[in-house]
Amino acid sequence: MKSTIHVRGIAAVMLLLLAACAKPPTEQIDTAEKAVKDAQQSGATAYTPQDYAKLEGMLANAKKEVADQDAKFTLLRDYGKAEQLAASTKAEAERVKAEAEKKKEEAKTAALQTLQVAQEAVKATQELVAKAPVGKDRAALEAIKADAEGLTKSLGEVQAAIDGGDYLAAQAKAKAIHEKSQAVSTEIQNALAKISAAKGKHSQPKKGK
Amino acid sequence: MGLALPISRLLTLITVLTLTSLSGCVQTIPEDLVEALESLDRDLVAERAAEFAPDEYTRFARQWVALKARVQADEDLIRWPWEPNRLETDLRHLHEEGTRTALEVAHRKDSQRLTAEERLNRVEQRLQAMNTKIVEIDGRLVLGHKPVETELLVKQARSFFDQGQFARALNSADHAAQLLGAQRATLNSELGRYADQDRINAWRAMARRTIQWSRAHHASAIIVSKADRILTLYKNGRKVLSYPVRLGYNGIREKRYQGDGATPEGQYHITHKRGEGHTQFYRALVLDYPNANDRRRFKLARKAGRIPLERNIGGQIEIHGVENELMGQTLGCIMLDNPEMEKLFALVEMGTPITIVGALHSQNAVALALADIGDQEEET
């Protein structure tokens, strides 16, 4: 009678031990999921979209493995593979996050450099506008002034795009400003050359109107 | 003993048969299939599948990750002979799906490229055509910053297109098209009176009264049409001469205040004749701007807040000659070439009426330019 109780007790303990060993890796899956989310928030969907798609696949795979084991009879469950998958998903998520952050930083640096070039070009244009004499082809000069003001205003939009993290748009706009600024400067230089050729021969028009 | 040997042989035979049978069940995944999938994935990455077909690529990537794990785990490799190799079947299905995704990516990419290219070309053409029309009617200053903002957006769209960022190119091109629409609205609001039949009729009536006055008083009278940039001299109600003129640098607009570069519209008279040596512009006919109507309009506009408080009404509006050949426009006066100014100067006197109108017919240059700009917008 006593030995029967012993056997039953041992069997119960073994079952409990087995059940305890086959615990689903909830924490590891949660950690992996958080790492994937971090990667997404770091800009992986924009900067490393293919890597991010695979990362989602890895996470889904790990979760599926847990679900497959959950569906098995308690004593046959083995979450070892699920743990491995969760760990590799986390590691890959960290790599993707680092890669996305690197690419994002590169894009930011490129956008800031392009902005600086555009700022210098607009400054040079404004200096030329200030040198341009009033009178003569006044309509053209007034139009150039309006363009220079528009270019200055647009520099603010580039900064806003950088602040908003849209570095691609910032770079494209800054590049456009640079090009247009150079075209305006060339226009002013041509006008100045034309005017200086006639300088000394004629006086300025009177004020009023 | 005699029986032991056959049993031993039989056992050996069974073992050999079992091993042979089992080795026959070990199924390998064709390496070329895995390589083909890897190559397909590389192609999809290179073609930016996640951008052009995000749902399809995500589905493919998820399955590929799962299958790769199965391939690496070797779990599916040992099967009973009657069992199908599910891993190989799944890989083949994924390859088919991946190929379909690649085709879909190529199709969508091409479609986006074509749409963006078409829209971008159209907006570039529209921008160019609008700029040409604006230059023709000297309407650039009416638009302030708008032209440069629009041009920047078009350049931005082209830059995105060149980088293969078709969705962004399309977005910028559409935004630029909206800005062109806003430019058109500004032009209509500022210059729409040139296309307004009631306004044109009122200008025609002003011109008619001036010609009738010339006939009735057997005297000279001048009519200037701003849209056509033409000055016409009448004597005894009959046209004597017609000369092209240049206006203020913002001459196409209605004059509002000093320094706006606009040429006034209204009925004026010559108050002074300045001969050679008395003006910097060869010869000049001084007008009585601002007259009572101009003062009334100015006061009303200032009261309504349309004119800044620090601005004055201005003055010294003249019909004059050219100071130098480089001067394309005036600050608001009407300018003639010197030989023509000399002839005109000789044919008019103090008190000669001068009527300045926007336009005398509905098919004037400004109205036609506005209509053309409107047609371009409708076409796009």
Between chains, do A198 and B326 touch, taking CB under 8 Å as contact?
yes
Non-local (6+) Cβ contacts of B40 within 8 A are B95, B98, B99, B102
Q: What is the CA radius of gyration of chain A?
A: 34
Give the mean model confidence (pLDDT) for residues B26-52: 87
Find the closest chain B residue to A82 by CA distance. B69
Q: Write out pLDDT tens, residues A105-153.
A: 999 999 999 999 999 999 999 998 888 766 557 788 888 889 999 999 9
Q: At what angle do helices A138-163 and B146-162 cross, to 10 degrees?
A: 50
Instruction: For residue A67, give the nearest of A29, A37, A93 by alpha carbon.
Output: A29
Encoded tokens for B18: 């079992």
Query: Tokens 């490799």 label which residue?
Result: B77
- For A200, the 3-state DSSP assignment is coil
Residue B3 has pLDDT above 60, yes or no: no
Burial of B16 (0-12, 13-18, 19+ CB in 10 A): exposed
CA angle A84, A89, A92 (to 5 degrees): 125
Give the mean model confidence (pLDDT) for residues B351-379: 90
B320 within 8 A of B341, measured Cβ to Cβ = yes
- For B371, the 3-state DSSP assignment is helix
Q: What is the CA radius of gyration of chain B?
A: 41
Between chains, do B323 and A205 touch, taking CB under 8 Å as contact?
yes
Using CB atoms, which residue from A136, A143, A169 is nearest to B140? Answer: A143
CA angle B172, B178, B184 (to 5 degrees): 140
**Chain A hits for B65, Cβ within 8 Å:** 54, 57-58, 60-61
CA angle A108, B154, A188 (to 5 degrees): 90
Between chains, do A147 and B323 touch, taking CB under 8 Å as contact?
no
pLDDT of residue B325: 62
B105 within 8 A of B51, measured Cβ to Cβ = no
**Chain B hits for A203, Cβ within 8 Å:** 280, 323
Q: Give A16's pLDDT tier (boundaries 50, 70, 90).
A: low
Q: Give B330's pLDDT tier (boundaries 50, 70, 90).
A: confident
Find the closest chain A residue to B66 by CA distance. A61
Between chains, do B331 and A179 touch, taking CB under 8 Å as contact?
no
- B305 Ramachandran zone, left/alpha/beta (phi>0; psi -120 to 50): left
Between chains, do B156 and A147 touch, taking CB under 8 Å as contact?
no
A107 within 8 A of A171, measured Cβ to Cβ = yes
Residue A19 has pLDDT above 60, yes or no: no
CA distance A5 to chain B (A): 41
Residue B207 has pLDDT above 60, yes or no: yes
Between chains, do A136 and B66 touch, taking CB under 8 Å as contact?
no
Give the mean model confidence (pLDDT) for residues A81-108: 94
CA distance B272 to chain A (A): 16
Count of Cβ atoms closer than 10 Å to residue B87 Cβ: 20
Range scoring the smallest mean pLDDT among A66-70, A140-144, B105-109, B283-287: A140-144
Using CB atoms, which residue from B64, B160, B314 is nearest to A208? Answer: B314
Give the mean model confidence (pLDDT) for residues A34-58: 92
Report the range out of A143-152, B5-14, B64-73, B214-223 with the highest average pLDDT: B214-223
Between chains, do B258 and A64 touch, taking CB under 8 Å as contact?
no
Q: State the average pLDDT for chain B.
A: 89
CA distance A16 to chain B (A): 29
pLDDT of residue A203: 46
Between chains, do A168 and B165 touch, taking CB under 8 Å as contact?
yes
Between chains, do B249 and A139 touch, taking CB under 8 Å as contact?
yes
Between chains, do A168 and B329 touch, taking CB under 8 Å as contact?
no
Q: Give B1's pLDDT tier (boundaries 50, 70, 90).
A: very low
Encoded tokens for B245: 């003129």
pLDDT of residue A138: 79
Output DSSP code: residue A206: P
Instruction: For residue B50, give the nearest of A60, A40, A54 by alpha carbon.
Output: A54
Residue B352 has pLDDT above 90, yes or no: yes
pLDDT of residue A198: 62
**Chain A hits for B314, Cβ within 8 Å:** 208-209
Whole-Å CA distances, A104 to A163, B48, B85: 13, 17, 44
Range scoring the smallest mean pLDDT among B47-61, B70-84, B200-214: B70-84
B127 within 8 A of B154, measured Cβ to Cβ = yes
Chain Cα centroid distance, residue B150? 5
Using CB atoms, which residue from B57, B69, B250 is nearest to A53? Answer: B57
Q: Give A209's pLDDT tier (boundaries 50, 70, 90).
A: low
Dihedral angle over CA of B177, B181, B182, B186, nearest 10: 140
Between chains, do B250 and A139 touch, taking CB under 8 Å as contact?
yes
- Residue to test with chain A: of B43, B62, B171, B253, most A Cβ within 10 A: B62
Q: Write out pLDDT tens, residues B290-311.
A: 999 999 999 999 999 888 888 9
Instruction: For residue A172, give the nearest of A114, A120, A113, A93 by alpha carbon.
Output: A114
Chain Cα centroid distance, residue B27? 64
Find the closest chain A residue to B58 by CA distance. A53
**Chain A hits for B316, Cβ within 8 Å:** 206, 208-209
The ipTM, to two decimals, is 0.77
- Residue to test with chain B: of A47, A50, A68, A149, most B Cβ within 10 A: A50
Using CB atoms, which residue from A50, A58, A175 is nearest to B50? Answer: A50
Find the closest chain B residue to A195 by CA distance. B326
CA distance B10 to chain A (A): 36
pLDDT of residue B326: 61
Give the mean model confidence (pLDDT) for residues B123-133: 93
Give the mean model confidence (pLDDT) for residues B95-110: 96
Between chains, do A146 and B69 touch, taking CB under 8 Å as contact?
no
Encoded tokens for B225: 């049409």
**Chain A hits for B148, Cβ within 8 Å:** 146-147, 150-151, 154, 180
pLDDT of residue B259: 87
Residue B154 has pLDDT above 90, yes or no: yes
How far is Cα B152 from Cα B173, in angstroms, rounded to an integer?
10
pLDDT of residue B308: 87
Query: Tokens 């960022």 label which residue?
Result: B165
